Structure 1
């Protein structure tokens, strides 16, 4: 995951996942990569951006509809990752779903 996602003209939806990790990897990195790969294959997926430092991680995924977000949430492999997140990987997290109504991009 690198760079800024090239999303279509709004409206579309953003899922903002902010988290603080527990100590140690515990196979987190491998699962995170797998989830991005799997999400990118889902109908309605538009892109993803992610950043993490030692204290906070933020991942924003973009979707064309609320139905696409719901289908991703219910994906069986994603459900396994959600459970592992609660038991092994996160001290805390928040998830916000937003409708994108306007966007601007700058590029040199």
Structure 2
């Protein structure tokens, strides 16, 4: 399993547009082969910073999503209109367990 950590600093006044775009992409990615789950978190330290955390079965699934045409269009829109900055990290999950032991 792999995790994609997408941190973005939203331009002032663009948060609603970003969240709408994210909701649209969330709906699309849900049907992608290899996609497991995704959540979004707002920073309590940095105003306008949002972190999206998604989980994938493989690096190949991540690569397919990265090249999805609608996703590419949204990436460009984000860079040109919505983001001050962003950072993407991809990590292999070594362990996965919960308090309940599952």
- Root-mean-square deviation (Å): 1.4
Is 1:37 matched with 2:27?
A: yes
Shift of 1:62: 0.5
Alignment of 1:1-108 (within 5 A): 12-25=1-14, 27-53=17-43, 54-106=47-99
Shift of 1:60: 0.7
Q: Distance in 1 between matches of 2:39 and 2:17?
A: 21
Q: How many residue pairs end up in the alignment?
A: 96
Shift of 1:64: 0.3
Shift of 1:23: 1.2
String of CA shifts for 1:67-97, please: whole Å, max 9, x gaps. 1000000000100110011101110010001
Q: Which runs of 4+ in 1 moved over 3 A?
A: none
Other-structure match for 1:4 = none
Shift of 1:106: 2.8
Q: Compute the TM-score of the two structures, normalised by the length of structure 2.
A: 0.87
Structure 2 contact 7–50 (Cα < 8 Å) conserved: yes
Q: Distance in 2 between matches of 1:45 and 1:57?
A: 20
**What secondary structure is seen at the aligned counterpart in 1 of 2:80?**
helix
